[in-house]
Chains A and B, each alone.
Chain A
Amino acid sequence: MAKTIETVEAALSGPTPGQVLRGRIFGHRGLMFGGVVLAAICIVALLAPVLAPHDPYSQNLLARMQPPVWFDKGTWDHPLGTDHLGRDYLSRLIYGARISLLIGGVAALISGLIGTLMGVAAGYFGGKVDTVVTFIINVRLAMPVVLVALAVVAVFGGSLQVVILVLGLLLWDRFAVVMRSSTQQLRSMEYVNAARAIGCSTSRIVFSEIMPNIVNSLIVVVTLEMAHAILLEAALSFLGLGVQPPTPSWGLMVAEGKKMLLFEPWLIAIPGVALFVLVLVINLLGDGLRDVSAPENRN
């Protein structure tokens, strides 16, 4: 019978959980691609002053709308050409990554804080707290985001801070919804009951029993909302009521290029593709993280 025990042990002693997780992360193409490209974009944004060939604000009216280098008249001096004011398009694109990442990141942070707080409170305490939070979530969902954001930015002026704050204060709904249901599920778990039974304080239960178990879904929502905030900022700026010129926001660049749509379509193609790629890799990262943290929920 010793042999049986050996075979059972051999069957059980597979790779360690850490190895399994690493295997899943590196084996997930979407996650790897998303992570690597996003990291690259972050590095480019951080090193913008070093990498950008020109000052993104300096105008040169003699060199307006030069085409990118792959067109006949393009030069390596301006690899992606220049815009209608003769500003270097590549430099504006690189600095624009800063704006998008900053807005996406900070807005997701603010909304994450608000939403998580509300969701965990509602899920943990239930009862009246839950009723109130659910009502607030419903009110928030009923507000037309784009319209309200536009109106509020119009009232307070389109500075970077205002845009970030408005988006942060508007986009917390998904955090609240997801965190509420995750916390509800956890609250009825045996180990949470056990912690309560041995007299742990509420804050201790929330921080050491609940938070570690919802952090996975939290990270996934962070990526989703970051992408959402980036797209919304671009839309607001495109409509002329977000970040104001001459800030190099990608949405604004598309709006400015729109006037030259007929003759110079690359002016909108370049920032548009940049936006698309950034949002795509963030989404891929989020989807990948969800697959890796809960492979049983795949599909």
Chain B
Amino acid sequence: MIYTLKRLGLAILVALAVSMLSFTLLHLSGDPASAIAGESATDADIAAIRAFYGFDRPLIVQYADWLFSALRGDFGESYYFQLPVAQLIGDRLSITMTLGICGITFAILTAVPLGVAAAVRPNSMIDRVALFISVMGQAMPSFWFGLVLVVIFSIKFRLLPPSGTDGWQNFVMPTVVLGYYAMPAIMRLTRAGMLDVLSADYVRTARAKGASEMRVMFKHALRNAIIPVVSLSAVQMGFMLGGSIVVESIFALHGAGYLAWESIGRNDLPTVQALILIFALFYIVFTFLSDLLNAWLDPRMRVG
């Protein structure tokens, strides 16, 4: 319990530090007021905007102001849309979350069976195929992989829409691209874990009890090998949501990542600021969850 509280406190501190850091970085960019006002604005216009948004105050005051509003769920107003950022992001977040969940599911469903199969027969054909797939996945730029899929499935075979957010078909290719990004690490860890566990004494004990190979593999071995895989997957999920910006922009999937990309181009500071914090929070929450999951899965981690 104390451990959990400590972790929680640390997570909050990390979130604070991230927000402070990104706030400072973004506000170093010179004068946001002139960026908002546009090129034809007069000095008086700029001064008025500066006063309106409070850019003339010290940075630390601006940060504190932003932080306390943010804690109430108020992330300010988008310069571009003239809408509350919270409202803007809310709509987009569900798309990114859907994509993230589909992506990690795809990654786990391909990586774990492949990793197990590779570990059961090391140096076999299937092991080589698994290794090949993971090496490819690590070297392939995801934006390029996305385009290749578009060429094949949208242009050549006309099976899937190349872009948009209209139906489930729009999520197929982004899911594959995002999932393939997380897959190699999960597969390698599954394989290494299974190899380790399969040579463990307790697996031999299970065999000595007359358990079938399937039972040995899934009940005794995988149950132990999967523990680190689960926590890795949770962490990867956090990374993936942050990386969805590339995937969403390729497929014009109008999620939070796409919004972030557009907002950076539009110099829409409040939106970018809020999105960085939200993606950081995703990562923090998922690492926190992974710790809890770990404790739940591994009896040795449970205290008491």
Contacts and interface: CB of A to CB of B under 8 A. Distances in A.
**A–B contact (CB under 8 angstroms):** yes
A143 B195 contact: no
Contacts of B148: 268-269, 272
Contacts of A231: 141
Interface string B1-44: 00000000010011101100110011011000000000000000
A99 interface: no
Q: How large is the interface on A (under 10, 10 to 19, 20 to 34, 35 or more residues)?
A: 35 or more
Contact of A235 (B18, B191, B246, B275): B246
A269 to B, nearest CB: 8
Contacts of B287: 141
B97 to A, nearest CB: 15
Interface stretch (A11-19, A42-50, A238-246): A238-246
B22 A143 contact: yes
B246 A143 contact: no
Contacts of A154: 264-265, 267
Main secondary structure of the interface of A (DSSP, over half): helix
A80 B147 CA distance: 20
Contacts of B150: 261
Interface stretch (B47-55, B81-89, B277-285): B277-285
A65 to B, nearest CB: 16
B29 A155 contact: yes
A144 B25 contact: no
Interface string A147-170: 110111011100000000000000
Given A138-B14, A241-B264, A283-B138, A152 B143 contact: no
B243 A276 contact: no
Given A142-B15, A276-B144, A151 B276 contact: yes
Nearest to B143: A238
B147 A261 contact: yes
Nearest to B142: A235
Given A138-B14, A151-B264, A151-B276, A268 B25 contact: no
A265 interface: yes
B135 A284 contact: yes
A144 B139 contact: no
A275 interface: yes
Given A146-B242, A258-B147, A276 B140 contact: yes
B195 A299 contact: yes
Q: Which of A147, A277, A284 has the most CB of B within 10 A?
A: A147
Given A147-B276, A154-B265, A155-B25, A276 B141 contact: yes
Q: Which of A146, A262, A279 has the most CB of B within 10 A?
A: A146
Contact of A241 (B243, B265, B276, B279): B265
Contacts of A254: 141, 143-144, 147
A234 interface: yes
A227 to B, nearest CB: 7
Nearest to A144: B242
B200 to A, nearest CB: 14
A213 B85 CA distance: 51
B25 A151 contact: yes
A145 interface: yes
B192 A299 contact: yes
Given A152-B25, A279-B138, A299-B192, A146 B246 contact: yes
A150 B264 contact: yes
A135 interface: yes
B109 interface: no
Given A254-B144, A261-B147, A299-B192, A144 B283 contact: yes
B183 interface: no
A269 B152 CA distance: 12
Interface of B: 10, 13-15, 17-18, 21-22, 25-26, 28-29, 122, 135-136, 138-144, 147-148, 150-151, 155, 191-192, 195, 241-243, 245-246, 249, 257, 260-261, 264-265, 267, 272, 275-276, 279-280, 283-284, 287
Interface of A: 135, 138-139, 141-148, 150-152, 154-156, 227, 231, 234-235, 238-241, 251, 254, 258, 261-262, 265, 268-269, 272, 275-277, 279-280, 283-284, 299
